[in-house]
Structure 1
């Protein structure tokens, strides 16, 4: 079996490719009537893979189509780039009446993670992203980044506590605020797909939609294997994790760099308005992908002492933090 790779893209695009057929399996699995059906393609802007242990290839393909339909449905709600998405309408209008259930649920969870991380995770950092994208998108942009006055102004629009989330209306308390779900939505979508498959009776599944969740173990009885890309050389793996009934998410500044030198990335510290540079990559394992995704984002902007204190509030979660020099700090709650 191949190693599933972690990617740190933070954009939602479209789903591509078709069913890729059955994976190659050891003969003893085939003799037991177990088939590992595999789809590989692109989902949510990242290389994606679904692996289902099922004896009936046609039924496995039907389940995969259900999963891809669910990913498409959720992308239409959460995308920053689709003009008709619920998130785009919220950012454009400053409010969203009668929000769809998944938008309400995800934003409620996002605000809760804001509270639990003391603001290290904040979905309202989009004004900082917009500022830096506009600055570095201009010819001859100052390599030192936007003026500090502009950073201060954008940071004044960043505050998860000013996001009002209710079943009848979601709204910003300040004009000019905006939300990005790129630090949590991939984990959320991964969880929804995983729960869809669990509801269909599947208990040996690997879902890789950029963030990863495993239901049960590999059909040969061992854990699923997840390869972590080396942030200094993405062509090689820095480590292989073995997981069962766990989720894995990675965040890294190399996912979206605004400048050629890599000094400015999408991982903004809400407290300063500047890109965090403590770690080159942060990998979190947790019981669900939403938690792993949000915490990998939050830990990415914290120094070691604060990262350890934060993780202590999340029992059962582990983190692997890679320093720019390649050193690794391992934390466990």
Structure 2
């Protein structure tokens, strides 16, 4: 991916070659951005002068990404941004499904991977924890379902009712998070045809890694969005960051305003990637049925880490609301906001 430098630290990267990115449609502006999130209030007044804001915008794993650092030294801020972007690129080479040389692509191709990168081991282990906490609703092994639906709707004569029941059953037989054996020396699949996607958690993980890198370098009052959003402390104005849950039905519309202070937020919504023009089929799959999630317009989750928020927003997209509190508590998340088909918002806490 190419990079160009414009004024100050504002950077943009060329669009990812990854097809059908579920977050590509998001517009990043103002103070906060991410899937389902919209900025409120623009630049922050108060303790931090605008001249101290250093910003990068680009792409991470096919998702719109941004980094906002308030720092008194422009040269040091530029080094911090450069180091953060380098970390993003390094992790992309582990988790990308569209780079044939990535660790994840090699695992999916061969069914086994010796001496896996530690980050892949960590994220697969975390995925298994969130799978257990949600009763299997979060399952990184649904990649065969993605491949089935993408191939089906990629044909000019595709049945608008989706893949056949038989084809879905075949793909589902290749899924199941329990079929991934993970340790420091090897990752291996239990059955032929299995494949993993980390698109429901990797953006959150990368967001956390960048946030931890900056925290270790003494950065505070910063907003990191590498596909999901994490706040280090509150805003420089001395109050929480303010974020809005977007209305999927209305351009620039907001359904709720939330405060974010030293927390993370992630949103999942089927409208991010739709396989068909009618919008009946999307990228969020129910592992139990092989069908696409259509319960909600979107689900937003607040959690201590973006990894947790990302995984839970994916899982809760297919679960009934009455199971939300137990899933949140089991995973360590704090609160969830469900946008129903009529645009109303229902929230649940752990």
Say if 2:33 and 2:66, in contact at 8 Å, map to a contact too: no
> Are 1:7 and 2:35 an aligned pair?
yes
Residue 188 in 1 paired to residue 216 in 2?
no
Aligned pairs for 1:11-26 (under 5 A) are 26=45
Provide structure 2 residue ranges, at least 5 long, that are not aligned to the other structure: 1-28, 37-41
Q: How far apart are the structure 1 equivalents of 2:47 and 2:291? A: 54
**Where does structure 1 differ by over 6 angstroms across 4 or more consecutive aligned residues?**
none
CA shift at 1:309, angstroms? 3.3
Corresponding residue for residue 237 of structure 1:
254
Residue 61 (1) aligns with residue 78 (2) = yes
**Structure 1 Cα separation of the partners of residues 44 and 236 of structure 2:** 10
CA contact (8 A) 1:5 1:227 kept: no
Which whole-Å CA distance do the structure 1 matches of 2:324 and 2:46 have between them? 45
Partner of 1:47: 64
The answer for the alignment partner of 2:20 in structure 1 is none
TM-score using structure 1 length? 0.91
- The TM-score normalised by the length of structure 2 is 0.87
Matched, 1:251 2:279: no
Cα distance in 1 between the residues matched to 2:227 and 2:49: 29
Which of 277, 294, 299 is equivalent to 2:316?
299
Aligned pair partner of 1:29 in 48, 51, 62: 48
Cα gap change, 1:150 to 1:213, in 2 (>3 Å): same
Aligned partner of 2:116 in structure 1 is: 99
Q: Note the C-alpha offset of 1:3.
A: 3.7
Q: Which of 181, 187, 190 pairs up with 1:170?
A: 187
Specify the alignment match of 1:20 in structure 2. none
- In structure 2, distance between residues paired with 1:318 and 1:290: 14
1:214 lines up with 2:231 in the alignment: yes
The CA distance in 1 between the partners of 2:44 and 2:85, in whole Å, is: 24
State the distance in 1 between where 2:258 and 2:196 align. Answer: 32
Rounded Cα–Cα distance in structure 2 between residues aligned with 1:202 and 1:27: 18
2:240 and 2:44 map into 1 onto residues whose CA distance is 15
For residues 331 and 131 of structure 2, the distance between their equivalents in structure 1, rounded to whole angstroms, comes to 14
Query: What is the CA-CA distance between 1:40 and the residue it aligns to?
Result: 2.1
Partners of 2:166 and 2:324 lie apart in 1 by 29
How far does residue 69 in structure 1 lie from its aligned partner after superposition?
Answer: 0.3
For the Cα contact (< 8 Å) 2:309–2:333, is it kept in 1? no
| Distance in 2 between residues matched to 1:76 and 1:314, nearest whole Å | 27
Q: Which residue does 2:154 correspond to in 1? A: 137
Structure 1, residues 89-111: CA drift from partner, whole Å, max 9, x if none? 00000000000111111111111
Query: How far does residue 221 in structure 1 lie from its aligned partner after superposition?
Result: 0.7
Residues 315, 291 of structure 1: alpha-carbon distance in 2 compared, 3 angstrom cutoff:
closer
Greater CA deviation, 236-245 or 296-305?
236-245
Please list the CA deviations of residues 224-283 of structure 1 after superposition, one character each: whole Å capped at 9, or x if unmatched.
122322111243222232211000000000111111111111110000000011111000
In the other structure, the counterpart of 1:12 is none
Query: Paired residues, what number?
Result: 317
Q: Give, in whole Å, the separation in 2 of the partners of 1:77 and 1:140.
A: 36
Offset, 1:314: 4.1
**For the Cα contact (< 8 Å) 2:308–2:331, is it kept in 1?**
no
Mark the CA change 1:157 to 1:56 in structure 2 (over 3 Å): closer, same or farther.
Answer: same
1:326 aligns with 2:343: yes
Residue in structure 2 matched with residue 13 of structure 1 by the alignment: none
Runs of 5+ in structure 1 lacking a partner? 9-22
* Residues 1:265 and 2:265 aligned together: no
Name the counterpart of 1:114: 131
Contact 2:113 2:186 in 1 (8 A): yes
Distance 1:70 1:312 in 2: 31
Deviation, 1:47, is 2.2
Instruction: Report the CA distance shift for 1:237/1:124 in structure 2 as closer, same or farther (over 3 A).
Output: same
